[in-house]
Structure 1
Amino acid sequence: MNKPLIVSCPTCQTPVVWNEQSPFRPFCSKRCQLIDLGEWADEEKRIPGDPAWLPEQDDENEY
């Protein structure tokens, strides 16, 4: 029998079993999932790198 994969909740670090019985995986709960979503929405979290699109680029392509 395989040992279940256990990950830490990205928000609160609670251990979470990675399977179908954990509907919010990798989060431990809907609350932690929404906290994480809010951090992305508030731009507290972001992926490093140059933006793929800038509004001023549209001005150059207008006819």
Structure 2
Amino acid sequence: MTSSKPCPICRKPRHADHAPFCSPRCRDRDLAQWFGDGYAVPGRPAMPEEIAREITRGSGEE
């Protein structure tokens, strides 16, 4: 079964076996984008100290 939305990588029709992509190739290309920092949330990088504070704050010290 195919969906009305196209594959987000190549714009071909989606395939149910590889949703939301059309093929294993497009699925793998998307994964490579994540691994290679191709996708990112805008903003400054977090400092390790800030991450440590967030972890300790969320560990039940309230």
Same fold (TM over 0.5): yes
TM-score (norm 2): 0.61
Number of equivalent positions: 52
Structure 2 gaps, min length 5: 57-62
Q: Which has the higher strand share?
A: 1
Greater relative contact order structure (CA < 8 Å, 6+ sep): 1
TM-aligned CA distance change 1:42 to 1:7, over 3 Å: same
Q: Aligned-pair RMSD on alpha carbons?
A: 2.6
TM-score (norm 1): 0.61
Q: Which has the higher helix share?
A: 2
2:8 to 2, 7, 10: 10
